[in-house]
Amino acid sequence: MADSDVKAMTADLEVPSFEVAAFTSPVKLSEAKVAIVTSASLHHPDDDGFSPGDVGYRVLESNKRDYVLGHWSPNFDATGFALDINTVFPIDRLDELAARGVIGSVSDIHLAYAGNQFELSAIRMDSGPAGAKFLNEQGVDIVLLTPV
């Protein structure tokens, strides 16, 4: 068993195509509020976990570092996250960048989705735009998207 073997299983997976990329130029990085959106199914222990096929999102708070990896796919290594949440969700690194003035600030709120989806229409049409609207309302300028 090797990582390349697992990746090879996805080689022929069809991916969505977009006629137009949602390209937006942000404010200067040193003035930008940055949030993370991850497809790693992270959630806080007291929140509802992700069910298989869950197309919703969970809100992750910056000041609670008790994130749980709720992803149901067995096809990735989880020990990296177990040792260091930043392997998937680089919240400490963003804090350090904000302290150094590289980025403006770190959002208090981040989002997690379940990436192991075969039917994406609900995320594309509903929970995806809803999550983007929510982050926009928080004044987020830049989103870093991380998988597992």
Binding interface with other proteins (CB under 8 A): 1-11, 13, 15-18, 21-26, 29, 45, 49, 52, 66-70, 72-88, 90, 92-94, 96-97, 102-103, 132, 135-136, 140-148
Q: Which C-beta is closer to other proteins: that of 122 or that of 144?
A: 144
> To the nearest whole angstrom, how small is the minimum distance from the Cβ of residue 104 to other proteins?
12
Q: Which is nearer to other proteins, 126 or 129 (CB)?
A: 129
Cite the beta strand spans of 46-122 per DSSP E: 57-61, 68-69, 105-106, 109-113
Nearest distance from residue 45's CB to other proteins, in Å? Answer: 8
Query: Minimum distance between the CB of residue 10 and other proteins, rounded to whole angstroms?
Result: 5
Angle at 23 between CA 133 and CA 126, to 5 degrees: 30
On whether the CB atoms of residues 83 and 92 are closer than 8 A, the answer is no
Residue 52's nearest CA partner among 126, 4, 119 is 119
C-alpha gyration radius of the chain? 16
- Closer of 55 and 116 to other proteins (Cβ): 116
- Locus of tokens 């008790």: 66
